[in-house]
Structure 1
């Protein structure tokens, strides 16, 4: 057995962190910025702060960090817009969020879905997201199987 192939959960997190530039918080901000920009083309610091339930100063610091990666443009006291790379990454992050949310709604009883999505979406790799999309699409296209699953689940939870 190769001792180097196994890691603790924290070990895997550290390995993954070294592979990517964005933290989970940065991803959350970028996803929310994308949501606003998709509708109105921009977002303001104050709106983002209110939506994410954080202080304006926290948003400003995070926006500056994300801007330094070339994913958005920001002018002090102005508006925030996404670069093309920011739009592409934001679209992926939003799709990942929706995929995890749909999957969790399917397998859970509906309690704390948003909280669970926010806590786990950052640890899913793109291949797993693709597989979840395929699985949820399969269940949507086969309601008879979905009904069997729901009955099976309910029998085991009661």
Structure 2
């Protein structure tokens, strides 16, 4: 247990050293954002965006700005610089973000197909496109139409939330 505390103390010192000077008010604001952002189903400013939708938006913005997909470490730092901290006001853990990146890739392909249709795109085409882009599931298994079918409701919800959140 002493090792854990020692390691944690070093990490805390390292974080403080790299974070620069902070005011008590800035720390309080970060903690408030972290607390409200991580409540189940939480969204801010009355939007229908979930916390994961906000992670997706940052992931997409990073791709646009840099020309490549961020690693989970890069996404964690990027979210923190954009004012989206994790719990306790610290950067979001890369292991937390890792849970979502495959879904972000698949959603991106699905959304591109969805833009060309008035309804849910043919899932076999989305699955084939995922395979063509090298997007695979766990253990390199191909993305299946059954997997996609289970995600359609959430994909549609995200699409509507992103459209509602976009400025006119």
TM-score category (smaller protein): 0.3 to 0.5
* Structure in which a larger fraction of residues adopt strand: 1
* Structure in which a larger fraction of residues adopt helix: 1
Structure-2-length-normalised TM-score? 0.32
